Amino acid sequence: DTAVSQTPKYLVTQMGNDKSIKCEQNLGHDTMYWYKQDSKKFLKIMFSYNNKELIINETVPNRFSPKSPDKAHLNLHINSLELGDSAVYFCASSQAWVRETNYGYTFGSGTRLTVV
Amino acid sequence: QKEVEQDPGPLSVPEGAIVSLNCTYSNSAFQYFMWYRQYSRKGPELLMYTYSSGNKEDGRFTAQVDKSSKYISLFIRDSQPSDSATYLCAMSRFPGGKLIFGQGTELSVKP
């Protein structure tokens, strides 16, 4: 039973299109994230939601819009896709405000987005 | 200057070797330190988590944090070919906070 699942795994689309990536976690975590991994494998945070509330919004073009219908789901919608958006997008979740216990993010397996 | 610096490698070692992976950071507010392992075309998986300074051991893996030097390390003893992956250090100021990653070190363990 996958803890953090993303769909789709692969997405190939043309410039200018709009696409969505979905994420679901069954860990009971209260915080979810979107990370982008570039071609050099550098992971950078894009957004974070805690109990459906946006708490981190990095310098990301406003073509990217996250949405969290409930604390187990976090979706990412991208408008007017550009070549530079090609990357692997990871969803993650964590149980915030926990100090000494096994705190850590659980990542999904990623969505490989290719814009042509 | 990046907040977290990590030598990208690649690092190639023979099976059975002791591997040392390191990261330095500039923000003294970081309190939570993690090491993730990422196999090709997979998501990062948490290997070790340490709060503040000190050592932590789990099987063949040992994580060390030296906050005074802003330096963290991961040691892998008796390395195996199955350890071949990219190792990412990561850190945050508080639980649930923004996780800042190093660039990752690509490790190859040769049989």
pLDDT computed for residue A97 by the predictor: 57
Asked if the Cβ–Cβ distance from B43 to A100 is below 8 Å, we say: no
**Which token pair is B40?**
């090709």
| Spatial contact of B18 and B76, defined as CB atoms under 8 Å apart | yes
In this complex, the residue of A30, A42, A98 whose CB is nearest that of residue B101 is A42
The secondary structure of residue A27, as a DSSP letter, is S
Round the average pLDDT of chain B to a whole number and report it.
Answer: 93
Choose from A43, A45, A89 for mutation: most chain B CBs within 10 A.
Answer: A43
Question: Quick one: what percent of chain B has pLDDT higher than 90?
Answer: 80
**Residue B67 confidence class, pLDDT cut points 50, 70, 90:** very high
Q: What is the mean pLDDT of residues A23-48?
A: 92
In this complex, the residue of A98, A105, A112 whose CB is nearest that of residue B99 is A105
Q: What is the mean pLDDT of residues B41-45?
A: 93
Residue B81, sorted as left (phi over 0), alpha (psi -120 to 50) or beta, turns out to be: alpha
List chain B residues with CB under 8 Å of A31: 96
List chain A residues with CB under 8 Å of B42: 109-110
Asked if the Cβ–Cβ distance from B95 to A96 is below 8 Å, we say: yes
Alpha carbons within 13 A on the beta-carbon side of A93: 24
Q: Residue B73: pLDDT above 70?
A: yes
| Spatial contact of B8 and B100, defined as CB atoms under 8 Å apart | no
Residue matched to tokens 């060390």: B64
Residue matched to tokens 């397996």: A109
Q: Residue B90: pLDDT above 60?
A: yes
**Residue A96 confidence class, pLDDT cut points 50, 70, 90:** low
B81 by DSSP, 3-state: which?
A: helix
pLDDT computed for residue B53 by the predictor: 83
In this complex, the residue of B8, B42, B98 whose CB is nearest that of residue A45 is B98
